[in-house]
Structure 1
Amino acid sequence: MDRPVFLVAGASSGMGRLAALKLGQGEGHIILAARRIEPLEEAAERIRSAGGSAEAMAFDGADPQSVEAMIAQIASSHGRLDGAFNNLGHTFGDSPLHETPLERWHDALAVNLSAVFYLMRSQIPLMLANGGGRIVNNSSTGGLRGTRNMSDYSAAKWGLIGLTKSAALEYASQNVIINVIAPGIIATEKFSQFEAQMPELFERLRQETPVGRFGEMREIAEVVDWLLREAPAYLAGSVIPVDGGRTA
């Protein structure tokens, strides 16, 4: 049996990088993709040096032609795609809605929503051609409730949840299982910098988190790995908050 092929889109840093490294510990070939190739090559080499199989691909998620070209390359080189973690997202600032520049609104939708649509639009046919696959999209708890002064980001993340659920309804019967995670406050690489600037705010947020701490990137990676490899196929179209109980 051919080894499974997994794609992590948005793997140059943060949750995407940790998810790729976690997937690389198991069976299969891992494709790390993002705009910047250098950090992808470093992570791919780390997987290979530990005995795994990985490669790096550069692409621009905001460009549908770039997305199509990447998936076509995967189809040509590997003939299959068994799982994908679509980890594209970015915040572009904060302001009241009436002061939000139109450019920022369009950028937020392009990166947080449209890019994932482009990815799924190309990923799903390749999965269908090989009997199925699994997709995990990365939303946010900002997609589960309103976010003050970040209406652009919150709207895009809500939209991503709707996109995931709609696609799950369309393809679950064909063994393409699609879910979405909603991370809460996660300690990423730049986290300590922000915490140092606003210590009182971060302490209040920590106290408001039922588990009494913020999340770690490895915890997101563990959830993604489970959803792509081991989760039952009956878990489809679901939103999985990974937020320490903040939205409970």
Structure 2
Amino acid sequence: MEDAMKVFKEFFELPFEKKSHLYNTHDENVKCKLYTSSSNYENEEIHYWRDCLIHDCTPLKESFDLWPQNPPRYREVVGEYLSQVGKLGSRILDLISEGLGLESDFFAHGYKEDFFFTVNHYPPCPDPSLTLGLPKHCDPNVITLLLQDIVPGLQVCVDNEWQLVQPCPNAFVVNMGHQMQVISNGKLKGAEHRVVTNAEKSRTTASYFVVPSKDCILEPAKALTKKDLPLYKQFRYAEFMETYKALNTQEPENLLEPYKIKKEVI
């Protein structure tokens, strides 16, 4: 974890000319790219105070050649880091299955087929009151494993109030995503979170996203709807992602609205 964070910071400290070839804000098919604010920079109304490096890591060994070559040890360090975080993610999902009363390998059936990875860098912001590092959102996937550095900035919404998540050394923040909320039939809620900026210090974080396959059918687990009625209907993950991108809303709960089962009013 320490080596990975060090190499992430080394990457963002590189001179522009050593990473400019990675900049891309328009082609979603590029497997490794660097952009500012969001991948829709040209059309967004508000720019956010971050640079983001994003790359695929499925399958891991076949993705290496697409990753940055600078710093020279980036691929070696990050490859080992992602391998270990992937194992941790699987273990956490098994424990969540046990906690929900599901079979231990429940998430092995299409719910953790893909992974992607982002490193966010938030430079010092001259006026933090003018913009955020990232706006309020909920991750669209199953779970996210977030590695923070020592500079705080992550906030989570609890009872309509924003609370700062203080960095904990040698630990990950595990975010529940929209799909976990659906699978658990609302027992586990997608975590609404955002990132605030800092006037004096830069901040770097790394997010490992556990993602269902595109054709995975999402719905509440059958074992959880024997006593309670299902809250959500069936949908394909690819269909959800089309909705997620199209709605472009800062009200995360609205993204699941099209998939809720409406109760009949008598």
TM-score, normalised relative to structure 2:
0.29
Write 1 or 2 for the structure with the bigger share of helix: 1
TM-score, normalised relative to structure 1:
0.30
